[in-house]
Structure 1
Amino acid sequence: MNPRARYSLVSFLTWLPAGLTTAPMVLLMAERGLSVAEIGVVWTVYSVVTIALELPTGGLSDVVGRRRVLAASAAVTVVAMVLVALSTSMWMFVLASALKGVARALSSGPAQAWYVDTVHALDGPDADLRPGLAAGGAMGSVALCVGVLAGGVLPLAVPESLIEPLAAPPLLAALAAAVLLGVVLAALPEPPHVVARSFGEVLREVPRTVRSGVRLVAASLLLRRIMLYTVVFGMALTTIELLTPLRLADLAGTAELGATAYALVAALGFAGSAAGSALAPALARLLRGNAGAMVTGVVAGALSLYALAATTGLDGPAGLAAAAAAYVLMFAGLGAVDLLGQALTHGEVTAQERATVTSVTSLSLQGGGVLANMAAGALATAYGVAVPWTVVAGLTLLSALLFVRLPVRRPETRPHGTLAQNKVL
């Protein structure tokens, strides 16, 4: 199996548990007595834990290896998903959410770093990363699409006498994470990079690696713009994921039917994201550069968010159809931007900082999520869901300015090392 296929498989299995729990998660917490504000707290814990661990775990991956950190992430995911299924109080959900944050932080950089390091080792530092990154991004979106459909339909298919319907998807997610653990251990050989030999070396090396990655981001205008956009992207995603299930449950009439409705709408959105990721390289060629493609994707996503806010005036099938259409266009546009941003980010870093800088990106995403969690619920309670959706649409549209006249480093100053250098540094 070639590196692209392995990376695609790991990307699929990494995102499958998240897909399986996307539709029922908010509704499961609501069914077990949590208010909208308490659900927001649970989500905030996830974001805060992820933010706190993003840089240390990214540095850990750069020090001890991609494979070990990915395996640890899969193992923690198994425990977290089982706990979600068993939780009966806010504090149990908080603990499960914290474990999910640990797993997310552990997984946010190593898989991409593994693929890039492996391709550079095989084909040299100037190898085109976009096709493989596109394939991995598309497979992650396919996993979310398949998972959200399965997680939305499963509660209707499981007999209540056997298990609480909304608890079935988290249990299936735990099984998927266990499969991921086996794949990582069996099929993901460690690429050439520096690996610390002792626990003491790990403790000393991780902070140095983190500082190096942060300094690199701070010194690069391109990376600063990408990180700022990612904050806005995180706000948009969190606002959508927090409010859409509750909105569709109101339209459908019951929590189980709401989970299925959200699954169908979200699956179409993830399919749009897969298409956006897959078509991003072609879009960049058509528009003669990453900058035009990224501006186009952001504007398309922002206009779709405005359309989603407008659907709150519709009821029944018309409301569901309009929301689905907005989801597809929004995720297609933003999926293309995400892929191109990844390629640009990897072009700015070396192997020794790759997972750390990827973790900075994930930290920015979760930071935006924390801001949205604090504001979206309050705005929706006071003014309805259309207002927070409109606010994030406006912020997303403004963020397109970050990619106008996108700074690109001259080839002779691009930071990359040869395979021999990567083994020594």
Structure 2
Amino acid sequence: MTATDLSGNPRRFVLFTVFYNARAYYPVLAILFLDLGLTLDQFVMLNLIWAATIFLFEVPSGALADTIGRKRLLVASSVLMMVEMLCLLVAPRDGGAMLLVLCVVNRVCSGLSEACASGADEALAYDSLEETDRGERWDKLLATAMRWRSAGYVIAMILGGLIYDPAALNRILPAGAGISADIAHRLPVALVFCQAVACFLITLGMVEPPRHTTGTTCGDAVRLTLKTARWVFTNPKTLVVVVIGLGIDSIVRNFATITSSYYRLIDLPEWSYGFIGAAIGLLGWFVPSVAKSLNARYGTLANLGIAAGLSLLGLAALVPAWPIFGLLPATLLMTTLGLLGFTVSRTLHAEAASSERATVLSVKGLSFNLGYGLFSIAFSRLLAGFPDVPAGSALKSALFWQVPVFAILMAGLFTWACRLWKRMA
């Protein structure tokens, strides 16, 4: 019997994670929806729909990946990514109910796509590595993927910011070839649609690794889901990593989705958003090396503490909304997400069995998105509860109140985790 050739999977995993995650509309994500005619409250609530979709389908999709195959889920994820981009390409500006419906479909497809990809990509890549020193090989592959994803961000952020701003774009176009704001605002979305096509072609070329499965039906997937979720939340190490991780991720990632609104608050021009994202992407090239070194030197709980401390510092420094210098805390928060992701990923991979790997990662993803969704509700209520006169006042007030919430939450979680850690020793 000929052995399955899995040597191309790690390279395809790196390519997939770059094209899937480094999206050209990220530097203008919030204002993209606002300029289509939505309010900031509606945008935050759309993100709640996105998180709710992932909450419903994250773990079932991970269990399906562990039963019917990771490759099939990744192909489906790529198709859904194409559909979500098409919704934004055809959405009418100031289109009322039709605009809102298409944006909801976009968020649902985006959530389904994330759910299908979450866990399946890493699980397929991890099980494609040689078993000898697999943990060390995974650290190297994960660091490589994070670096190339950062390089992809640099390109995507610069292009996305430039082509979204019609004034900047028309300055470099030939005379008489100018484009309208409505067309310019669709260009980052069109570019991401092309990335979705690339993801589809990449996933078609992946090879499914041999796996020990407990079945091949949806019923088997449900049973695996329940079994794995029970294990994740009764294993003290995975419980601590997931709970503290979601506590940090929910608040920091919420800010990541509204960065373009924050940039407007600190009076930065739209054309600069892409360059800012590119600069953060360049810093992200070094984050995996730092994260790998910190995880080799310190324990899991210590690294989570470092991520929590940096996040608190960054959130507090956002509140004054300093012109230009307000970029520093925003950059700190974005890079801290990289450290958190590396720490959580390596810990869960080390603890999980191969036959349940994608399901374990999906349980993590579901938990993180549940936390993100709940905080999105709270943040949207904060925004709605404060007057926005002068413009930006509501956002400044909401940024202020999330700081004590985060501090109290982290103090409670780390007190609980330290006691649990001592009992494990």
- Please report the TM-score for the alignment, with normalisation by the length of structure 2: 0.83
Deviation at 1:195, TM superposition (A): 6.2
- Aligned AA (2:70): R
Quote the Cα distance in structure 1 between the aligned partners of 2:298 and 2:218: 45
Q: Does 1:265 align with 2:276?
A: yes
Are the equivalent residues in 2 in contact too, given 1:11–1:136 (CA < 8 A)?
A: yes
1:25 to 29, 54, 65: 29
Structure 2 residue matching 1:385: 3-state secondary structure: helix
- Aligned AA (1:174): F
2:209 to 179, 191, 204: 191
Match of 1:422 in 2: none
1:83 to 69, 84, 87: 87
Are the equivalent residues in 2 in contact too, given 1:248–1:261 (CA < 8 A)?
A: no
- Aligned AA (1:203): C
1:37 to 41, 49, 60: 41
Between stretches 173-182 and 367-376, larger displacement belongs to 367-376
Deviation at 1:408, TM superposition (A): 10
Quote the Cα distance in structure 2 between the aligned partners of 1:94 and 1:178: 22
2:16 to 10, 21, 27: 10
Compared with structure 1, are the counterparts of its residues 166 and 293 closer, same or farther at alpha carbon in structure 2 (3 Å cutoff)? Answer: same
Deviation at 1:391, TM superposition (A): 4.1
Quote the Cα distance in structure 1 between the aligned partners of 2:100 and 2:319: 30
Deviation at 1:118, TM superposition (A): 1.3
Match of 1:46 in 2: 50
- Aligned AA (1:225): V
* Superposition pairs of residues 15-414 of structure 1, within 5 angstroms: 15-16=21-22, 19-88=23-92, 89-119=99-129, 121-123=130-132, 127-156=136-165, 157=169, 159-161=178-180, 164-186=183-205, 188-194=206-212, 201-252=216-267, 257-258=269-270, 260-285=271-296, 287-310=297-320, 312=321, 314=322, 319=323, 321-381=324-384, 382=386, 384-397=394-407, 398-399=409-410, 402=414, 404=418, 407=421
Quote the Cα distance in structure 2 between the aligned partners of 1:222 and 1:273: 27
Are the equivalent residues in 1 in contact too, given 2:54–2:111 (CA < 8 A)?
A: yes
Are the equivalent residues in 2 in contact too, given 1:222–1:408 (CA < 8 A)?
A: no
Match of 1:418 in 2: none
Q: How well do the aligned residues superpose, as a CA RMSD in angstroms?
A: 2.8
Match of 1:413 in 2: none
Are the equivalent residues in 2 in contact too, given 1:69–1:110 (CA < 8 A)?
A: yes
Are the equivalent residues in 1 in contact too, given 2:66–2:358 (CA < 8 A)?
A: yes
Quote the Cα distance in structure 2 between the aligned partners of 1:396 and 1:132: 32
Quote the Cα distance in structure 2 between the aligned partners of 1:243 and 1:388: 12
Deviation at 1:238, TM superposition (A): 4.0
Are the equivalent residues in 1 in contact too, given 2:12–2:203 (CA < 8 A)?
A: no
Quote the Cα distance in structure 1 between the aligned partners of 2:230 and 2:214: 22
Quote the Cα distance in structure 2 between the aligned partners of 1:146 and 1:75: 23
Structure 1 residue matching 2:209: 3-state secondary structure: coil
Deviation at 1:380, TM superposition (A): 3.3
Quote the Cα distance in structure 1 between the aligned partners of 2:249 and 2:307: 16
Quote the Cα distance in structure 2 between the aligned partners of 1:349 and 1:128: 16
- Please report the TM-score for the alignment, with normalisation by the length of structure 1: 0.83
Quote the Cα distance in structure 1 between the aligned partners of 2:108 and 2:378: 21
Deviation at 1:390, TM superposition (A): 3.8
List runs of 5+ in structure 1 lacking aligned partners. 411-425
Quote the Cα distance in structure 2 between the aligned partners of 1:171 and 1:272: 27
User: What CA deviation, in whole Å up to 9, does each residue of 1:72-109 have, x standing for no partner?
Assistant: 10011011111112112111111111111110110111
Are the equivalent residues in 2 in contact too, given 1:232–1:395 (CA < 8 A)?
A: no
Are the equivalent residues in 2 in contact too, given 1:303–1:393 (CA < 8 A)?
A: no
User: What CA deviation, in whole Å up to 9, does each residue of 1:320-355 have, x standing for no partner?
Assistant: x32322223223333112201111111111011111
Compared with structure 1, are the counterparts of its residues 124 and 335 closer, same or farther at alpha carbon in structure 2 (3 Å cutoff)? Answer: closer
Compared with structure 1, are the counterparts of its residues 146 and 323 closer, same or farther at alpha carbon in structure 2 (3 Å cutoff)? Answer: farther
- Aligned AA (2:242): M
Deviation at 1:67, TM superposition (A): 1.1
List runs of 5+ in structure 2 lacking aligned partners. 1-6, 93-98, 171-177, 387-392
User: What CA deviation, in whole Å up to 9, does each residue of 1:164-206 have, x standing for no partner?
Assistant: 11111111101101011111112x2111114688xxx422211
Quote the Cα distance in structure 1 between the aligned partners of 2:154 and 2:418: 31
- Aligned AA (2:378): A
Deviation at 1:136, TM superposition (A): 2.1
Number of residues of Structure 1 aligned to a counterpart in Structure 2: 392
Are the equivalent residues in 2 in contact too, given 1:28–1:166 (CA < 8 A)?
A: yes
Structure 2 residue matching 1:181: 3-state secondary structure: helix
Between stretches 325-334 and 382-391, larger displacement belongs to 382-391
